[in-house]
Amino acid sequence: MINALKQIQGSIITSRILIAIFGIVIFAQSGTAQDREPIVIDRCVLKIRDHIEVSSTRAARIVEMKIRLGNLVQKDELIIQLDGEIAQANYYVAQQHATNNVESRYAVKANELSQKEYQRAIQLNEEIPGARSQAEIEQLRLKAERSELQVEQAQQHHQIAQMNRELASLEVKPYRISAPISGQIVEIHKRVGEYVQPGEVIAEIVSLEEMLVEGYIPLNKAWQVRPGTSISGSISLPKLADNIGQHTNYQGQILLVDSTIDDLSQSVRFVGVLKNDTGLLRAGIPMKIVIDPQQSARP
């Protein structure tokens, strides 16, 4: 009887423990789900992501500017031509040498003739012993071997000429300056006829494809956010959105969650990137950002 009572008491205690654990788990799950709700940051600011200064790697005079202030350019598009006449002339000479295979063709023909002379001398001595002296045979053999080596030498000369052409082409490229990124020309510092030094900035390009967005996350929410977390943004000023006709939600992701806490606001700085699908976003525009801790942007 006593053992039965002990077993019943043990079962009751075990049941209470299981119920308590189950309640804690349910509470934790509900708390986690609540903590993972979207985080809304009302005041964030857009910034330029890519601002590139276009410069020269050669000291030369500008002979052509294919851009004007405000122009949109594509990556690798030719935008500035420098005076590279000497480099171009060197490339032309190298091109002529690289395409000239006369030496190789002559060496092949000479080798064929030398081999035939050597073989005929051997065949003649087989038919008429002593018709050609051993010294003559050795001279013809040496001539045939030398002609083979001359073929190899001609081929090497041709390969070197082709490599010199590649080197000459590399010398021409720096005088043709292409856009390093797709974007808009926002500054032009030089004009046609002016002389530039290596490293001197000629123009500036800003990319409009993606924009940085910066804001502050409340400290109690910052632990939920990490690089790669999905974000969406909309222009936070209704009048501005109406003026440009944009109420679009721009998609992006978090790039950085700062490791330093702002003591005054008890918040953490974050930096994200938004795709400027409409091309209308500009630096300085205030944005409302919604951070979704449960979603990670695709790479």
pLDDT digits (tens, 9 = 90+) for 202-223: 999 999 899 999 999 999 998 9
Is the pLDDT score of 297 beyond 70?
no
Looking at residue 242, its pLDDT comes to 60
Fold classification of 36-50+208-296 is Elongation Factor Tu (Ef-tu); domain 3 (2.40.30)
Whether the predicted pLDDT of 90 surpasses 50 = yes
Mean per-residue pLDDT, 121-125: 83
Average pLDDT over the chain, rounded to an integer: 83
Q: What is the pLDDT of residues 11-57, one digit of tens each?
A: 544 444 333 333 333 333 444 545 568 899 988 999 999 999 999 99
pLDDT for 24 equals 32
Q: Give the integer Cα–Cα distance in Å for 75 and 57.
A: 18
Average of per-residue pLDDT across 64-70: 95
- Mean pLDDT computed over 162-186: 93
Segment 237-246, tens digit of pLDDT: 666 656 555 5
